[in-house]
Amino acid sequence: MKNNKLQEAKYYIAKLIAEQETPEETKTVAGLADKFLDISKKMRKGEYKGLQASEINVIDDLMNVLLQGSMEGNLTTILTRVQDILSKSVKGTSNLPGEEPTEPELDIEDETI
């Protein structure tokens, strides 16, 4: 059961990363707010299954740190490095809730940020 939840979490992480890799770029606060709203609606519908309380807490903390840090300065370099690490670690999925699922593959390696 833990393995299944891990696979689901990997799937949704990969989906979020795939969204970031799409050619359409979000360049405005309003555009980012729209994306957050879309994710919020999908979460409330239960489309993000398998997230554990600890993961939800870390995602919440991460979002707070990212937004606060972005208001205080430019985090582009750090965010790009984190995105690269995650993109290399989570492979084989590109679907979001409501799309045809593909089997996730996670390549776990020790990488430092």
pLDDT digits (tens, 9 = 90+) for 20-52: 665 567 889 999 999 999 999 999 999 988 888
Tens digit of each residue's pLDDT (9 = 90 or more) over 44-73? 999 988 888 998 999 899 899 988 988 999
Question: CA-CA distances (angstroms) from residue 44 to 5, 41, 79, 100?
Answer: 19, 5, 27, 20
Strand bridging mode 90-91 / 105-106? antiparallel
Confidence of residue 12 (pLDDT cuts 50, 70, 90): confident
Does the pTM of the predicted model rise above 0.75? no
Instruction: Say what the pLDDT of residue 6 is.
Output: 81
What is the average pLDDT score of the chain? 78
- Report the C-alpha gap between 5 and 51 in whole angstroms: 7
Contacts of 103 (CB under 8 A, 6+ apart): 92, 93
